[in-house]
């Protein structure tokens, strides 16, 4: 069997050359990392859940007219995506204070923010993905003013969509991170949602109990991460209700 070419390997995913020019195969690993990879583990089933959940969110976004890199799911761990030129910024949207915002500003976790707040972090592991201002982004040429305007508009649409999806199943979308890529169509370029949208990159709290259903379960040793992600998938109808982590995720087509 011919070996396919690995294009990039990150902490949670591997990218392989796709079957056609302009496509890639995105493989979801079971590896979990936190605190810039100082904490590491392998969580059985995480990659399968994130593949399926990212498909669910990206497909929904496409349906409401938000462009994404997602083309189709190929199997349990892989999806076909459009190749993009990644903008070297993490775009974070926050609805409630938590994590680094709470630490930086001394806000109690869970404090509702006056409006969604967008932050940009430079994608640079060696520097620990530092928070940057729009001034830095423009001065250093990481993105143009037009890119920034488009990124903010996309991020707010993703926020509205994700908040609604989660609200419908009793989950509060506290914050999330997305990555955005540039694609060229003839002479024109546009920005689309890339990477993944999953509980690895969101904070999701049960509305009734405040139970964490996201990667903070791993970061803060709050229980079994795959069980938390399975609960999110089950509520969204991505998995049947009788599936638990111990019986392994079963996918519905």
User: Residue numbers of the site for ligand 5GP (CB under 6 A)?
Assistant: 90, 92, 98-101, 129, 175-177, 200-203, 215
In this complex, which beta carbon is closest to ligand 5GP, that of residue 92 or of residue 238?
92
In this complex, which beta carbon is closest to ligand 5GP, that of residue 55 or of residue 200?
200
Q: How far is the CB of 104 from ligand 5GP (least distance, A)?
A: 9
Give the contacts of 17 (CB within 8 A, at least 6 positions apart): 4, 5, 7, 24, 25
In this complex, which beta carbon is closest to ligand 5GP, that of residue 2 or of residue 105?
105
Q: How far is the CB of 245 from ligand 5GP (least distance, A)?
A: 20
In this complex, which beta carbon is closest to ligand 5GP, that of residue 67 or of residue 99?
99
Q: How far is the CB of 139 from ligand 5GP (least distance, A)?
A: 23
Q: How far is the CB of 89 from ligand 5GP (least distance, A)?
A: 11
In this complex, which beta carbon is closest to ligand 5GP, that of residue 203 or of residue 235?
203
Q: How far is the CB of 191 from ligand 5GP (least distance, A)?
A: 19
- Which residue's beta carbon is nearest to the bound ligand 5GP? 99
């Amino acid at each position: 069997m011919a070996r396919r070419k690995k294009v990039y390997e990150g902490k949670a995913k591997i990218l392989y050359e796709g079957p056609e020019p302009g496509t890639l195969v995105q493989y979801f690993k079971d590896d979990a990392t936190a605190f810039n990879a100082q904490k590491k583990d392998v969580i059985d089933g995480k990659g399968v859940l994130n593949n399926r959940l990212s498909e669910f969110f990206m497909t929904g976004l496409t349906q409401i007219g938000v462009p994404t890199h997602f083309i189709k799911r190929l199997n349990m761990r892989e999806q076909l995506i459009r190749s993009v030129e990644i903008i070297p910024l993490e775009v974070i949207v926050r609805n409630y204070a938590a994590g680094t915002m709470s630490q930086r500003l001394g806000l109690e976790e869970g404090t509702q923010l006056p409006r969604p707040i967008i932050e940009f972090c430079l994608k640079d592991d060696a520097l620990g993905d530092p928070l940057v201002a729009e001034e830095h982004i423009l001065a250093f040429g990481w993105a143009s003013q037009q890119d920034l305007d488009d990124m903010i508009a996309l991020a707010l649409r993703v926020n509205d969509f994700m908040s609604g999806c989660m609200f419908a199943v009793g989950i509060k979308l506290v914050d999330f991170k997305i990555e955005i890529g540039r694609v060229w169509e003839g002479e024109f370029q546009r920005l689309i949602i890339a990477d993944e949208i999953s509980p690895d990159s969101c904070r999701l709290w049960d509305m009734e109990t405040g139970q964490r259903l996201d990667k903070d379960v791993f970061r803060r040793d709050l229980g079994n991460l795959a069980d938390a992600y399975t609960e999110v998938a089950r509520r969204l109808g991505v998995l049947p209700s009788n599936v638990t982590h111990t019986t392994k995720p079963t996918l519905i087509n």
